[in-house]
Structure 1
Amino acid sequence: MRVLILWRHAKAQSATVAEGDHQRSLAERGRADAQRIASRLIAGGRLPELILCSDSRRTMDTADAIDRAAGRALDRIALSDLYHASIDDYLRLIGEFGGGCSTLLIVGHNPTIEAFAEAVTGDALVRVRPGDLSIYNCAASDWTAATIGDFTRTAVLSPRGE
């Protein structure tokens, strides 16, 4: 069984004129939340073989937390395509980079992370807040064949402990 983990970046600082949205870093609370979620993920035995990460600063900062929790740098690919991605973009990138990985982590943004959860669960009221992480089992024989219907959400980790 393949496992896809989708993690919305943790709470970020407000954008400044000098910095812009792409360069926003995590707020102190966001750093603490990301570390808490990463530690829970690793403690639960969910070490990703590959991380696909938006190239924004806040997503990279969020992904850094899992490296600290794992005690080493995990394989990571920073992709500008994840910044304004659609569900179809996610599926394409999963197929392109997933290869032989059994567990793949994407650190990205809303609205795509939330739209993915809505499409899988059929719940139009699902909300994915900053720092929330969802774990999906994928029934496809390999990542290149995966469609949205192949995914089942099996767990949600939230900094708020829900």
Structure 2
Amino acid sequence: MSDAESRRIVLVRHAKADWPQVSDHERPLAERGRKDAPVTGRKLADADIVPDLVVCSTATRTRETFKLMVPELPTRPKTVYEERVYEASPGQLIALLEETPDEVRTLALVGHNPGVQALAEILAGESEPEAASRMAARGFPTAAYAVLTFTGPWKSLEPGVGTLVDYWAPGGE
């Protein structure tokens, strides 16, 4: 693959979590989250967005979200559970994504807000009007995703290089 090829970043916020008496990192999905997560996977598959690599936070709710999304995808992507995603700032997430091997064409990041939404906003130098309008109206609720494209190697990822091309959130169809 040449460095000039287009790449996709799929930013997924974990599905709705419960609030039991456990640490924030260990919070499981709520019933609604267990219903929404497979729908997110199905929407990605229907849009022909299948990641080559998934980088998923180690938090329980993100791992459960991804586990419920996977059966809806046509193939299981290579998956890395990465503790640096948890509570990461957009700058920390960009630094993490810059480590992606250049043979990866579509990468999905399953993480948390406010980092995921801020990352989508920071990377998007341009936007498809419909996707930008939906994201502006909905914010980045649980189980939502944004898809951005950019051209160049992963190490060139920086604010404003991407184009927001798709956005979806449960209940917003």
Instruction: Choose the corresponding residue for 2:9, options 4, 14, 33.
Output: 4
Match of 1:63 among 62, 66, 70: 66
Q: Where does residue 122 of structure 2 map in the other structure?
A: 119
- Partner amino acid, structure 2, of 1:128: F
Q: Find the counterpart in structure 2 of residue 131 from structure 1.
A: 143
* Structure 2 contact 124–148 (Cα < 8 Å) conserved: no
Q: Compute the displacement of 1:119 (Å).
A: 2.3
Contact 1:134-1:155 at 8 Å conserved across structures:
yes
2:26 is aligned, of 12, 23, 30, to 23
Flag the 1:124–1:116 CA change in 2: closer, same or farther, 3 A: farther
Q: Establish whether residue 161 from structure 1 lines up as the match of residue 166 from structure 2.
A: no
| CA deviation string 1:67-100 (max 9, x = no partner) | 2112554211111100011111111111112431
Q: Distance in 2 between matches of 1:132 and 1:49?
A: 19
SS class of match (2:120): helix
**Cα distance change, pair 89–126 in 1 and its aligned pair in 2 (3 A):** farther
What are structure 1's unaligned runs of at least 5 residues?
Answer: none
Equivalent pair of 1:15/1:21 in contact (CA under 8 Å): no
Give CA-to-partner distance per residue, 1:11-32, whole Å, 9 cap, x none: 001131xx21111111111111
Q: Secondary structure at the match of 1:97?
A: coil
Structure 1 contact 118–126 (Cα < 8 Å) conserved: no
Per the alignment, residue 80 of structure 2 pairs with 77
1:106 aligned onto 2:98: no
Other structure's SS at 1:148 match? coil
**Displacement after TM superposition at 1:126 (Å):** 6.9
Deviation at 1:125, TM superposition (A): 8.1
* Maintained 8 Å contact 2:11/2:146: yes
Q: Does the 8 Å CA contact 1:114/1:128 hold for their aligned counterparts?
A: yes
Q: Distance in 2 between matches of 1:98 and 1:88?
A: 19
Root-mean-square deviation (CA, aligned residues, Å) is: 2.0
How many Å separate the matches in 1 of 2:160 and 2:138? Answer: 17
Partner Cα separation in structure 2 for residue 92 and residue 121 of structure 1: 16
Structure 1-normalised TM-score? 0.89
Query: One-letter code of the match for 1:4?
Result: I
Is the 1:12–1:27 Cα contact (8 Å) retained in structure 2? yes
User: Residue 144 in 1 paired to residue 145 in 2?
Assistant: no
Shift in CA distance, 31/126, structure 1 to aligned 2, threshold 3 Å:
closer
Paired-residue identity, % = 31
